């Protein structure tokens, strides 16, 4: 089951990296970490995308499967700037790029993972952090998994 979840995160990372600019490979990380901790522990590259597992639910949908049910993943997109002017526009552009990549990758992701194309986006307010100001948006999506 843990391998299935990690595989789902790696598949999502491939989708994010396949969307092209503005996301660099070193800025797409498989971590659930608060922005202030991320900035303290490493030279964070922005815009950054943190991918993590939010929830999984094992439902007895498939006989003899060790796991079958939804896996909820989050892509936490973060943008920063010295001023907060234009930050929301940059974040919206990043979210649009990522959601377009998700739309282009509906269907089977292989290894028992299926993405329906549905997602929800929650925009957070601007906070202090990063290069003075930081804003994030969390994109939540469900994969149907069987493994």
**pTM for the full predicted model:** 0.92
Q: What is the pLDDT of residue 137?
A: 98
pLDDT of residue 44: 83
Closest CA to 104 of 7, 8, 18: 18
Walking along the chain (147 residues) 10 residues at a time, the average pLDDT comes out as 85 96 94 85 86 90 76 97 93 97 97 95 94 95 90
Selecting from 3.20.20, 3.30.70, 3.30.420, 3.30.460, what CATH number does the domain 2-94+106-146 have? Answer: 3.30.70
pLDDT on residue 88: 95
Euclidean distance between CA atoms 127 and 136, whole angstroms: 9
Region class of 22: left (phi > 0), else alpha (psi between -120 and 50), else beta: alpha
User: What pLDDT does 62 receive?
Assistant: 67
* Domain layout of the chain by residue ranges: 2-94+106-146
- Give the helix/strand (H/E) hosting 99: helix 87-104
> Distance from CA of residue 3 to its chain's centroid?
18
Residues in the chain, total: 147
């Amino acid at each position: 089951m843990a391998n299935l979840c990690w595989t789902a995160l790696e598949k999502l990372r491939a989708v994010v990296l396949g969307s092209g600019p503005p996301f660099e490979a070193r800025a797409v990380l498989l971590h659930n970490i608060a922005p202030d901790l991320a900035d303290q522990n490493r030279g964070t590259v922005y815009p950054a995308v943190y991918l993590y597992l939010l929830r999984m639910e094992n439902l007895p949908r498939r006989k003899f499967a060790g796991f079958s049910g939804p896996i909820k993943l989050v892509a936490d997109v973060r943008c920063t700037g010295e001023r907060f002017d234009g930050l929301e526009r940059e974040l919206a552009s990043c979210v649009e790029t990522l959601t377009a990549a998700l739309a282009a990758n509906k269907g089977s992701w292989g290894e028992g993972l299926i993405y329906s194309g549905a997602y929800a986006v929650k925009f957070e307010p601007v906070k202090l952090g990063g290069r003075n100001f930081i804003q994030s948006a969390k994109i939540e999506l469900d994969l149907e998994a069987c493994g």
